[in-house]
């Protein structure tokens, strides 16, 4: 007989089947199968692409409280060695969305069995890692009809011990923009560089130049990050590469800094075109709105957490992570918080392995908070 909690078992099932943005077909089926096992009297279920909305009708609703979880995985090859490792070769729940989903199902299970006064809306959102499911889901007819009056979400934090909840009023996560740069020159034989335009050399020069933008062009009292996470180019060791591609992301705390960083990237790419006699194309891919926590609701949540003995509340600093939940918070007051899961490897690491003890503790804490808020708050 298994001694693990049902929501830990669910997390392990979901951990095995990570799927990329808008391809979360098996995940959606798994979630729906589970949701249909719950008492259905007060539930209304609607699917949206690979996502799901579940409304739990309150007994005397004055408002609707939204609870959002993301559901997608990352194109990272798992190296945890766990017995329930990813069965989808090359994909992994390395950002903890399997934990987020199992906690959301735990909270939903509680309220399907113990209705409260207010209505609740559970949002199982695809494509948080890209290209972004929050904005189109928010704009969907379903969510426009079922628009919560407040909304909350959590993200696991490997760096905090289990039992920790960390958040702050106002800005929590950065503005983000993806960054793809394609360089096209002239390939050729490795022995005749003077007859070619080497895009590996151009790409290396560009990566080094990009590093100076944060150091020299962004106000030191503001913050920005430019990370190139992937470089590809060329075909074989003894041929000069006629093409190269840089893939990365830009993070800034202010909209001004984002504008400045993009202007400088464009100027540097023009310089590379001239210096290396190549063609270049920039694509900014998906952009995410900053995560800005409603000060009043966040303060109230922090006070609630401070009175909850099993939780240690930390007032954290803002982080350069991105989250498309920021789009929901731009329209609906609410907040996001970090949940400690105590893993020596951080988010997006192939060995990230959250402590599953966080799951049941988060479910207990969140059902208490939502019960209080949905009956009295």
Ligand X SMILES: CC(=O)N[C@@H](CCC[C@H](N)C(=O)O)C(=O)O
Residues 121-160 that bind ligand X (CB under 6 A): 129-130, 155
Q: Which residues are annotated as a binding site?
A: 95, 97, 129, 155, 348
**Is there binding between residue 329 and ligand X (CB under 6 A)?**
no
Nearest CA-CA partner of 114 in 183, 33, 29, 56: 56
With a CB cutoff of 8 Å and minimum separation 6, the contacts of 144 are none
The answer to whether residue 354 forms part of the interface with ligand X (CB under 6 A) is no
Q: Per CB under 6 A, does 249 bind ligand X?
A: yes
The binder of ligand X chosen from 207, 286, 316, 357 (CB under 6 A): 286
CA 298 to chain centre: 20
70: annotated active-site residue: yes
Q: Does the active-site annotation cover 129? A: yes
Residue 198 is a binding residue for ligand X (CB under 6 A): no
**Active-site option among 78, 118, 119, 129:** 129
Residue 84-123 contact track with ligand X, rule CB under 6 A, x = bound = -----------x----------------------------
| Other CB atoms within 10 Å distance of the CB of residue 70 | 28
**Catalytic position from the list 19, 24, 70, 118:** 70
Q: How far apart are CA 167 and CA 260, in angstroms?
A: 28
347 binds ligand X per the rule CB under 6 A: yes
For the chain, the farthest-separated pair of C-alpha atoms sits apart, in whole angstroms, at 79
Residues 6+ apart with CB under 8 A from 71: 24, 27, 28, 31, 50, 51, 97, 100, 101, 124, 125, 126, 128
Contact residues for 236 (Cβ-Cβ < 8 A; gap 6+): none
Stretch that binds ligand X, among 23-31, 239-247, 291-299, 320-328 (CB under 6 A): 320-328
Output the smallest distance, CB 254 to ligand X, in A.
16
Binding site for ligand X (CB under 6 A): 95, 129-130, 155, 176, 178, 249, 286, 288, 321-323, 347
Catalytic residues: 70, 129
């Amino acid at each position: 007989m298994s001694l693990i909690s049902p929501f830990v078992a669910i997390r392990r099932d979901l951990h095995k089947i990570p799927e990329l943005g808008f391809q979360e077909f098996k995940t959606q089926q798994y979630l729906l199968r589970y949701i249909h096992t719950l008492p259905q009297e007060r539930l209304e279920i609607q699917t949206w692409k690979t996502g799901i909305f579940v409304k739990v009708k309150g007994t005397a609703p004055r408002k609707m409280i939204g609870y959002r979880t993301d559901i997608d995985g990352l194109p990272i090859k798992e190296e945890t060695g766990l017995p329930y490792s990813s069965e989808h070769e090359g994909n992994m729940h390395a950002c903890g969305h399997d934990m987020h989903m199992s906690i959301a199902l735990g909270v939903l299970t509680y309220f399907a069995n113990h209705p409260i006064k207010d209505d609740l809306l559970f949002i199982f959102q695809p494509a948080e890692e890209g290209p972004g499911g929050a904005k189109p889901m928010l704009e969907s007819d379903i969510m426009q009809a079922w628009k919560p009056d407040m909304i909350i979400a959590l993200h696991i934090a490997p760096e905090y011990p289990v039992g920790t909840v960390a958040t702050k009023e106002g800005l929590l996560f950065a503005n983000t923009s993806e960054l793809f740069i394609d360089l096209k020159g002239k390939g050729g034989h490795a022995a005749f560089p003077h007859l070619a335009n080497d895009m590996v050399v151009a790409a290396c020069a560009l990566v080094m130049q990009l590093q100076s933008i944060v150091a020299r062009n962004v106000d030191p009292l503001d913050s920005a990050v430019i990370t190139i996470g992937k470089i590809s180019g060329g075909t074989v060791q003894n041929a000069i590469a006629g093409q190269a591609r840089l893939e990365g992301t830009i993070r800034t705390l202010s909209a001004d800094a984002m504008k400045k960083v993009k202007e400088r990237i464009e100027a540097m790419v023009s310089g590379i075109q001239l210096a290396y006699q190549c063609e270049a194309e920039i694509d900014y891919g998906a952009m995410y709105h900053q995560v800005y926590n409603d000060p009043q609701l966040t303060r109230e949540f922090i006070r609630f957490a401070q009175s909850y003995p099993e939780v240690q509340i930390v007032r954290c600093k803002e982080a350069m992570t991105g989250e498309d939940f920021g789009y929901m918070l731009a329209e609906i007051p609410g907040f996001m918080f970090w949940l400690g899961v105590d893993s020596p490897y951080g988010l997006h690491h192939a060995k990230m392995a959250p402590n599953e003890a966080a799951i049941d503790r988060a479910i207990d804490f969140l059902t208490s908070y939502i019960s209080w808020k949905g009956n009295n708050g």
